[in-house]
């Protein structure tokens, strides 16, 4: 028997490793593991777990049409595979690559286990167009600046036809088995009350994306984040969509995603450490009371507060506002970017370690291709540019302009001066 292991590729269509598993073998057992190592850190109504379970249900329903079924397990992957190996004669395990440090360590341990049992572990690129060392400088070193990276990405892309893997046409090769499809309740979770917005990659959205993407009140971004995160859509299909438009801005965003993925691959230490080491010498004030007010959206800076309330209520925040709240936390409140990164990791539906760490370090000034530290967003000026009618702000702060709305917790000018002083002291 051959095992296909779903991880961040929760779809039957255009799934690279699933295609190879089915094309190369008869009798493929499709599995998903709810990993206790990950689940134990989440609240029981975590919206991402509900999303994953819903996607698995979509897969299960599709499989059941052909009399097949998905096996869902709950445990630590090493133990689950130990059990599977004891119950079946397995020749190979197929999966798609995952580039996060935890996943790389897990896969390495499993590789050793499989090797001991003479089982092949066949893994494929699926969640990106280019991975690892595929887009590097001519001397083989990784790019740490976006523009030259994206130029090389596009150059390579022009010479590489976009593949489509017709996994969906081979489902008859899935094995019959008696493993269960666990419910949310079986894994100790309950459905989340958060509704995930459907994604939109219509021609009109992509054609107008450049003009509309920066205005949070318009809601004119794709909402693809969570779908890409869990592989509910194929990145190849999304890039093909982006290419249909004359406007390149949307494609550029998808390339930012790959830029940060390769940064995390080459520099996994940036999860914990600043990419520019000197930035770890900044004397963060890390005031817990101010941090709490930031989390709750009660800073008295309306753009910041609207963003944090959007995040707390929906699990989403518009990109422009993410930049404003992140800059505010690091530069106005002098709180370590890692605190903000961790809070976003808890709350964001589309939480993606590479993009979250990369963008937080960008906002703090400590990362690759980051804005210079002395460029400090003025959260009030940003309103004039991006929400001048206060539509987004009033949506999320009904008490705005009433005595119930808090006074600013820090003075902009004083905070800015202190930030410049402390950054300069650390990084010169
Ligand atoms: P769209 O604007 O429609 O963009 C389409 C897709 O392009 C996104 O889904 C995403 O995959 C990619 N993309 C767009 N902007 C970026 C970017 N700056 N960096 C990397 N990829 C990008 N994005 C995440 O996917 N996960 C995160 O955890 C995350 N954390 C962030 C933290 C901060 C502080 C900031 C400033 C940005 C963060 N982003 C993150 C990037 C960006 O805000 C989101 O990708 C975007 O808002 C998701 O909404 P959307 O799908 O409607 O995006």
For residue range 307-332, list pLDDT tens digits in order. 999 999 999 999 999 999 999 999 99
The verdict on the CB of residue 215 being under 6 Å from ligand 1 is no
Cβ neighbours for 58, distance < 8 A, ≥ 6 positions apart? none
Give me the pLDDT at residue 369, please.
82
Closest residue (by CA) to atom 15 of ligand 1?
253
pLDDT over 80 at 370, yes or no: no
* Across 189-195, average pLDDT: 97
* Across 111-127, average pLDDT: 98
Cβ neighbours for 173, distance < 8 A, ≥ 6 positions apart? 22, 25, 26, 27, 28
The verdict on the CB of residue 241 being under 6 Å from ligand 1 is no
The verdict on the CB of residue 393 being under 6 Å from ligand 1 is no
* Across 291-308, average pLDDT: 98
DSSP H helical segments within 231-296, as ranges?
235-243, 249-266, 288-296
pLDDT over 90 at 123, yes or no: yes
Q: Within a 13 Å sphere around the CA of 252, how many CA atoms are in the beta-carbon half?
A: 11
- Given pLDDT bands bounded at 50, 70 and 90, which one contains residue 373? confident
For residue range 27-56, list pLDDT tens digits in order. 999 999 999 999 999 999 999 999 999 999
- Do 282 and 292 contact (CB within 8 A), yes or no? no
Closest ligand 1 atom, residue 323 Cα: 36
Instruction: Tell me which of 284, 287, 312, 378 is the catalytic residue.
Output: 284
CA–centroid distance, 120 to ligand 1, in Å, is 35
Instruction: Tell me which of 337, 339, 362, 396 is the catalytic residue.
Output: 337
Residue whose structure tokens are 């930049």:
323
Closest residue (by CA) to atom 16 of ligand 1?
253
The verdict on the CB of residue 348 being under 6 Å from ligand 1 is yes
Does residue 408 come out as left (phi exceeding 0), alpha (psi in the -120 to 50 range) or beta?
beta
Closest ligand 1 atom, residue 322 Cα: 36
- For the record, the structure tokens of 6 come out as 């779903």
Task: Name the DSSP class of 196.
Answer: P
- Do 197 and 43 contact (CB within 8 A), yes or no? no
pLDDT over 90 at 371, yes or no: no
- Given pLDDT bands bounded at 50, 70 and 90, which one contains residue 182? very high
**Residue 5 known to be catalytic:** no
The rounded distance, in Å, linking the Cα atoms of 95 and 93 is: 7
Q: Which of 3, 2, 64, 76 is nearest to 33 (CA)?
A: 76
CA–centroid distance, 319 to ligand 1, in Å, is 6
The rounded distance, in Å, linking the Cα atoms of 239 and 257 is: 12
The verdict on the CB of residue 228 being under 6 Å from ligand 1 is yes
Burial class (CB in 10 A: 0-12, 13-18, 19+), 61: exposed
Instruction: Tell me which of 54, 208, 319, 378 is the catalytic residue.
Output: 319
- Given pLDDT bands bounded at 50, 70 and 90, which one contains residue 285? very high
Closest residue (by CA) to atom 33 of ligand 1?
359
For residue range 207-218, list pLDDT tens digits in order. 999 999 999 999
Closest residue (by CA) to atom 52 of ligand 1?
223
- For the record, the structure tokens of 43 come out as 């609240």
The verdict on the CB of residue 16 being under 6 Å from ligand 1 is no
**Residue 256 known to be catalytic:** yes
The rounded distance, in Å, linking the Cα atoms of 280 and 427 is: 9
CA–centroid distance, 371 to ligand 1, in Å, is 17
pLDDT over 80 at 378, yes or no: yes
The verdict on the CB of residue 221 being under 6 Å from ligand 1 is yes
- Given pLDDT bands bounded at 50, 70 and 90, which one contains residue 157? very high
The verdict on the CB of residue 224 being under 6 Å from ligand 1 is yes
């Amino acid at each position: 028997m051959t095992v296909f292991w779903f991880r961040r590729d929760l779809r039957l269509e255009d799934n690279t490793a699933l295609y190879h598993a089915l094309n190369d073998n008869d009798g493929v057992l499709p599995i998903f593991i709810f990993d206790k190592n990950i689940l134990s850190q989440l609240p029981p109504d975590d919206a991402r777990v509900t999303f994953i379970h819903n996607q698995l249900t979509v897969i299960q329903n599709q499989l059941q049409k052909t009399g097949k079924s998905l096996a869902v397990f709950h445990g630590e992957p090493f133990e689950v595979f130990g059990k599977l190996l004891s119950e079946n004669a397995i020749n190979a395990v197929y999966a798609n690559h995952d580039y996060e440090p935890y996943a790389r360590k897990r896969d390495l341990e499993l590789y050793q286990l499989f090797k001991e049992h003479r089982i092949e572990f066949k893994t494929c690129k699926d969640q990106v167009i280019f991975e690892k060392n595929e887009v590097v400088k001519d001397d083989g070193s990784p790019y740490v600046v976006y523009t030259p990276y994206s130029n090389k990405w596009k150059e390579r892309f022009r010479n590489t036809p976009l593949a489509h893997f017709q996994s969906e046409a081979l489902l008859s090769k899935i094995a019959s088995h008696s493993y269960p499809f666990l419910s949310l309740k079986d894994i100790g979770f309950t459905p989340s009350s958060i509704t995930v917005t459907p994604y939109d990659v219509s021609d009109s959205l992509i054609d107008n994306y450049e003009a509309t993407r920066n205005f949070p009140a318009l809601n004119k971004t794709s909402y693809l984040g969570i779908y890409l995160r869990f592989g509910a859509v194929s990145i190849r299909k999304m890039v093909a969509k982006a290419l249909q438009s004359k406007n390149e801005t949307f494609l550029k965003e998808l390339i930012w995603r790959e830029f940060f993925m390769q940064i995390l691959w080459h520099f996994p230490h940036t999860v914990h450490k600043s990419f520019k080491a000197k930035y770890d010498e900044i004397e963060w004030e890390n005031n817990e009371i101010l941090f709490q007010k930031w989390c709750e959206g009660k800073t008295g800076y309306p753009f910041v507060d609207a963003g944090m309330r959007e995040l707390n209520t929906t699990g989403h925040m518009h990109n422009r506002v993410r930049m404003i709240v992140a800059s505010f936390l690091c530069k106005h409140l002098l709180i370590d970017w890692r605190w903000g990164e961790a809070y976003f990791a808890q709350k964001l539906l589309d939480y993606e370690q590479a993009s979250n760490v990369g963008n937080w370090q960008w906002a703090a000034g400590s990362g690759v291709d980051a804005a210079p530290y002395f460029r400090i967003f003025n959260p009030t000026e940003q309103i004039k540019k991006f929400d001048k009618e206060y539509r987004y702000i009033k949506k999320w702060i009904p008490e705005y302009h009433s005595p119930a709305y808090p006074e600013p917790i820090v003075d902009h000018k004083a905070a800015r001066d202190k930030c410049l002083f402390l950054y300069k002291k650390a990084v010169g």
